[in-house]
C-alpha cells in the first residue's frame, strides 16, 4: 500500500491516538512490551502504520525503546511522578492566569460539562469513563486560556494523570467525590476571576493522586 494514501495516513493517526490515549489514562502496565502483531490487531491498523506510531510516541517520551528490540511502557519512579506533577501544575497555573485576565471572560461550559460527565460515570461505576472525564476537565481548563500552543503542548506532553489503584468501591467513590468537589471549586474561583485561589486549589488538587481506577 502506498504510504502517502489517505488510508495509510489515517491508520498512522489511528494507531498514534489510540495508544496515546491508553498511555495517558494509565491503562497499560508499566514495563509492558508493546508487541507489533498484538497491537496492530487491537488497533485495527497495519504494522507499518503501527511502527510509525511507536516512533512518534517514543519521540514524545510516551514509550521507550528496549535495550535490544521493541518498545515498552515506561516505569515511573517517585522522582518521575513528582516531576510530572510539577509540570502539570506549571502549565495549568499558566492557563489559570490567562483565563482570569482575558477579556471578555472565556466560557467555562466545557469544564462544567466535564464535571457533569465525571459525575455520571461515577454513578454508573464506570471507572475508565471517569478517568477520561477527569483528563478532559484538565485539558479543557488549559484550552480555555485561548493559547493554541499551550493547549497543543499540554495534550501532547507525556504527563499522565497519576492514579492509585484500589479494589474497594467505597474508597474509589469517596475519592471521586473529592475530585468532583475540587473541580467545581476551581471553576467557581475561575468564574470569580480569583487566579490566586484557583491556583492554590489546583496545586492542592494535583498534589494529591486521586484514586480513580476501580479494579472490578
Is the pLDDT at 215 greater than 50? The verdict is no
Report yes or no on 10 lying in a domain: yes
Cell triple for 54: 511507536
Q: In whole angstroms, how far apart are CA 124 and each of 129, 130, 182, 209, 214?
A: 9, 9, 20, 22, 12
Q: At which of 72, 97, 128 does a domain end?
A: 72
Report yes or no on 213 lying in a domain: no
Same domain, 38 and 111: no
Is the pLDDT at 19 greater than 90? The verdict is yes
Question: Which domain, by its residues, includes 15?
Answer: 6-72
What pLDDT, on the 0 to 100 scale, is given for residue 207?
A: 82
Is the pLDDT at 178 greater than 70? The verdict is yes
- Identify whether the C-beta of residue 151 lies closer than 8 Å to the C-beta of residue 145: yes
Same domain, 155 and 82: yes
* pTM of the complete model: 0.85
Report yes or no on 50 lying in a domain: yes
Q: Quote the CA–CA distance of 193 and 188 in Å, as a whole number.
A: 9
Q: At which of 18, 42, 72 does a domain end?
A: 72
- Identify whether the C-beta of residue 160 lies closer than 8 Å to the C-beta of residue 196: no
Q: At which of 72, 103, 119 does a domain end?
A: 72
Same domain, 96 and 34: no
Amino acid at each position: 500500500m502506498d504510504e502517502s494514501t489517505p488510508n495509510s495516513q489515517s491508520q498512522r493517526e489511528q494507531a498514534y491516538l489510540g495508544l496515546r490515549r491508553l498511555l495517558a489514562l494509565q491503562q497499560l502496565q508499566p514495563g509492558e512490551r508493546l508487541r507489533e502483531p498484538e497491537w496492530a490487531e487491537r488497533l485495527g491498523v497495519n504494522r507499518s502504520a503501527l511502527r510509525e506510531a511507536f516512533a512518534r510516541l517514543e519521540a514524545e517520551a510516551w514509550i521507550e525503546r528496549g535495550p535490544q528490540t521493541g518498545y515498552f511502557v515506561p516505569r515511573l519512579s517517585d522522582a518521575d511522578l513528582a516531576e510530572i506533577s510539577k509540570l502539570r501544575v506549571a502549565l495549568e497555573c499558566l492557563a489559570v492566569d490567562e483565563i482570569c485576565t482575558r477579556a471578555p471572560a472565556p466560557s467555562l461550559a466545557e469544564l462544567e460539562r466535564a464535571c457533569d460527565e465525571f459525575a455520571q460515570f461515577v454513578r454508573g461505576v464506570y471507572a475508565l469513563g471517569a478517568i477520561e472525564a477527569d483528563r478532559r476537565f484538565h485539558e479543557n481548563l488549559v484550552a480555555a486560556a485561548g493559547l493554541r500552543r499551550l493547549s497543543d503542548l499540554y495534550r501532547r506532553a507525556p504527563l499522565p494523570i497519576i492514579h492509585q489503584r484500589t479494589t474497594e468501591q467505597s474508597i474509589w467513590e469517596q475519592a471521586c467525590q473529592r475530585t468532583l468537589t475540587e473541580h467545581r471549586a476551581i471553576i467557581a474561583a475561575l468564574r470569580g476571576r480569583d487566579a490566586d485561589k484557583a491556583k492554590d486549589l489546583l496545586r492542592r488538587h494535583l498534589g494529591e493522586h486521586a484514586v480513580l481506577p476501580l479494579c472490578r
